[in-house]
Amino acid sequence: MEQVTYNYQDKVVLVTGGTSGIGLATAHAFARSGARLIITGRNEEKARAAMSGTAFEPEFIQTDNSRPKAIMQLFDKIKQKYGRLDVAVNNAADETGVGKPLHEFELPDFENAMAANLRGVWLCMQQEIRLMLGQQPAGGAIVNVASINGLGGAPGGSLYSAAKAGVIAMTKSAAQELATSNIRVNVLTPGAHNTPMLQDMFRMQSGGDAAKEAEVKQMYLNFIPQKRLGEPAEAAAAILWLGSDAASYITGHTMIIDGGMSAMLR
């Protein structure tokens, strides 16, 4: 696909979960657009491998989004080094909360799913908003990354879906609260994209059987009117637009990017 760039020269941009999939594609896109880029992830070696061979050198801050202390340390470092934050992309997540019917999950499953996929987003938003409100000039843009599973649920993915539904609701609430504060808050809601997380999901659902894995993938494709998986760069392009001045009158929006997968249900 043709790469569209926006001018993020000297803008401080944070991408959580920026070492893989949509987060990594988004990091590359912001870097090409001139941003002063910070990415997070749990594995520093993975981050270096992901960005090796490129002309971009984002700052990597090792952060586990399921740990509140790690999130506080992340924002302490951002405040100390940059003193501001212009765009935040809350993308970090994991696949906890999938793979079983709702009644087979136990309390630790629930707590882990919410910690990684909902509480971590809330804590990041809390710190991002406080920083954006206090900086000069005040303002910024926040883009949260949810999932179409959060629009209505998914069998075998109740806890993950619940967490992503929470992200969508938090986004809409914050957008209304901040509408006159020059801070825009939107949510990207991707469908099936060709990411390592989705490939892991295919393998898990097929029990490692290659033939069954192909069947599982085809099942997904059958539900997508475009008959293909999305590419991470396609989601990244939407995120860059939402964070830019080109989307200056867009806040509280749920941008669904799923090849038409959920069109018949909404």
Q: Domain spanning 12-192+231-257: which superfamily?
A: NAD(P)-binding Rossmann-like Domain (3.40.50.720)
pTM for the whole structure: 0.93
Reported confidence tier of residue 46, pLDDT bands at 50, 70, 90: confident
Q: Is the pLDDT of residue 55 over 70?
A: no
Least confident among 36-45, 139-148, 159-168, 183-192: 36-45
The catalytic residues are 160
Least confident window among 26-35, 203-212, 221-230: 203-212
Phi, psi angle pair for 27, to nearest 5°: -60, -45
Q: DSSP string of 115-166?
A: IIIIIHHHHHHHHHHHHHHHSSS--EEEEEE--THHHH--TT-HHHHHHHHH
Q: What residues contact 114, with CB distance under 8 A and at least 6 apart?
A: 159, 162, 163, 166
Contact 80, 60 (CB under 8 A): no
For residues 8-37, one letter each, b for 16 or more C-beta atoms within 10 angstroms of the residue's C-beta and e for the rest, the string is: beebbbbbbbbbbbbbbbbbbbbbbbebbb
**Average pLDDT rounded to a whole number, residues 32-61:** 84
| CB-CB contact of 131 with 75 (8 Å) | yes
Q: Which range in 3-12, 43-52, 110-119, 220-229 is most confidently predicted, on average pLDDT? A: 110-119
Stretch 104-132: mean pLDDT:
97
The CA–CA distances, whole Å, from 62 to 42, 86, 116, 127 equal: 5, 20, 15, 17
Phi-psi region of 245 (alpha: psi -120 to 50; beta: other; left: phi over 0): alpha
Q: Which sequence spans correspond to the domains of the chain? A: 12-192+231-257, 195-229
How close are the terminal C-alpha atoms of the chain, in Å? 27
The contacts of residue 262 (CB under 8 Å, 6+ apart) are 148, 151, 152, 191, 256
Distances (CA, A) of 153 to 45, 159, 175, 221, 262: 34, 9, 23, 18, 12
Pairing verdict, β 183-190 and 254-257: parallel
The 10s digit of each residue's pLDDT in 238-263 is 999 999 999 999 999 999 999 999 99
DSSP state of 81: H
Residue 30 vs residues 7, 35, 75, 81: alpha-carbon distances, Å: 9, 6, 19, 19
